[in-house]
Amino acid sequence: MTDSLIENSSTVRTGGRLTVAQGTALYVGAVLGTGVIALPALAAEAAGPASLLAWLALVVLSMPLAATFAALGARYPDAGGVSTYVRNAFGPRAAAIVGWCFYFAVPAGAPAAALFAGGYVAAALGGGGTTTAVTGAILIVVVTVTNALGLRVSGRVQLVLAALLVALLLTAVLAALPHLRWDNLRPFAPHGWLAVGPAAALLVWSFAGWEAITHLAADFRRPKRDLPRAATIAVVVVGVLYLGVAGATVLVLGPAAGESEAPLAELLALGIGGEVHLLAAVAALLLTLGTMNAYFAGAAKLGAALGRDGALPAWLDRGSSAGEVPRRSLLVVSVLAAVAMAVAVAAGIGPKPLVLLTTGCFVLVYALGTAAALRLLPRGTRAHRSALFALVAVTALLVMTGWYLLWPLLLAAGALLYLRLRRSTSDAAASGLG
């Protein structure tokens, strides 16, 4: 990419269609994902009531992380998102690594979420693995069609989904309050205080997503004002809902929380009655559809930007400008997601490995993105201080990722190899012309 294009990335054409409300809904959909259905129980199993400290710690981390990416998005509203920020800070090679890690993480994470929701549908309707796979495939098709219709439709759909999701979670928490028992907090740390660490590691998946909407920054009507506002509102909404559901799970279900496969559905059933499995299926579908919709939108835009910048084939570059629909990039994401889901179903490995591979990619993206923020954001500002705090915290998460870092490292090698081959091809073509 030429220096002039790098310089112009901060002045890319704006004036898109997304409002603060739609942007907030996209944020909520990206972050408030399928983890809220199962992870409160898994965290409670790992650390007991002390798992609430892990939830609180990650909510606190979300504040500087969301503020950092929102500040970058407002300053550099470009479809490349984190890839653009890293490019401006460290050059095209680092940007390609970030772009590849995010772009190819989504086709792994999306089928994991789709299969997770499919499992709940199978529990409610029967049909076992067939129902699970069919539900997952339908979800991939739905989010593909929705995004192919354009950002305006996608934003409106996301707004409706977010409203339904917030209403559902609030209903579950409020309806269960009469059954709250403070005695369920004792013993507070039955597995020791060190168990809070593994519980926090489990919850990282629930808080991934604060970087996803930066790829859509140029599609906001007024990015410099609207993007930070949307991020701030989303942090409050997500934090309140996560802490509410996790707190209700521990205080209402008590020791049985760690054994529950669908704690949210049990809270709903306990508070308002109804069929547990059907309620779980509805919640899983709403959460998964919102998350996949947001990530497909962001990844499709990113793929188009990478094609524009030479980090992926130029065939993908159509749709990288604000207001355009990146249908070619969206098609690639959808096909790869379908292939990943088919492999997971055929091999019988389930969604967990896909989730962990995706988390490894996102943590690396966060690390490079916050490091770029320290170079790009004005020193002494609140945004710069947020970036420093976020980088320290994300570095700790990077260490906790373990061997699942292998996948993002392979993607990094693939990005560098592609750039090298592309340069060699260009040089050979230039020599032939000479």
The string of DSSP codes covering 362-394 is: HHHHHHHHHHHHHHHSPTTSHHHHHHHHHHHHH
**Residue 90 confidence (pLDDT) above 90:** yes
pLDDT at 371: 94
pTM of the model: 0.75
Model pLDDT for residues 171-180, shown as the tens digit of each residue: 888 888 888 8
The radius of gyration of the chain from alpha carbons, rounded to an integer in Å, stands at 21
Q: How far apart are CA 287 and CA 267, in angstroms?
A: 16
Q: How far apart are CA 1 and CA 308, in angstroms?
A: 9
Higher pLDDT, 248 or 81: 248
Model pLDDT for residues 357-379, shown as the tens digit of each residue: 887 888 888 889 999 999 999 88
Binned at pLDDT 50, 70 and 90, residue 129 comes out as: confident
pLDDT at 425: 77
Is the distance from CB of 288 to CB of 140 less than 8 angstroms?
no
Three-state DSSP at 299 gives helix
Model pLDDT for residues 202-220, shown as the tens digit of each residue: 677 777 777 766 667 777 7
Three-state DSSP at 255 gives helix
Q: How far apart are CA 339 and CA 317, in angstroms?
A: 23
Q: How far is CA 253 from CA 79, 256, 260, 271, 284, in A?
A: 44, 6, 9, 12, 20
Is the distance from CB of 214 to CB of 66 less than 8 angstroms?
no
pLDDT at 2: 30
Question: Two tokens at 411?
Answer: 């993607």
Higher pLDDT, 61 or 107: 107
Question: Two tokens at 312?
Answer: 């992926």
Q: For the ranges 112-126, 155-169, 350-364, 406-420, which has the lowest average pLDDT?
A: 155-169
Q: Which residue has the tokens 């409670």?
A: 44
Is residue 215 left, alpha or beta, with left meaning phi > 0 and alpha meaning psi from -120 to 50?
A: alpha
Mean pLDDT of 253-280: 73
Mean pLDDT of 46-52: 87
Higher pLDDT, 369 or 78: 369
Question: Two tokens at 408?
Answer: 């993002």
Mean pLDDT estimate for the chain: 80
Question: Two tokens at 133?
Answer: 């796979």
- Rounded to 5 degrees, what are φ and ψ at 220? -80, 150
**Residue 58 confidence (pLDDT) above 60:** yes
pLDDT at 274: 63
Q: How far apart are CA 280 and CA 12, in angstroms?
A: 43
CA angle 220, 222, 227 (to 5 degrees): 65
The DSSP bridge partners found for residue 181 are: none
**Residue 167 confidence (pLDDT) above 50:** yes
Q: How far apart are CA 345 and CA 140, in angstroms?
A: 15
Q: Where are the beta strands (DSSP E) in 125-255?
A: none
Mean pLDDT of 140-144: 92
* Bond preceding residue 77 cis, omega within 30 of 0: no
Model pLDDT for residues 10-38, shown as the tens digit of each residue: 333 445 677 777 777 777 777 776 777 76
Mean pLDDT of 406-411: 89
Three-state DSSP at 18 gives strand
pLDDT at 226: 78
Mean pLDDT of 388-417: 85
Long-range contacts of 272-278 (CB under 8 A, 24+ apart): 272/171, 272/175, 275/124, 277/120, 277/123, 277/124, 278/124
Question: Two tokens at 185?
Answer: 């907090």
**Residue 335 confidence (pLDDT) above 90:** yes
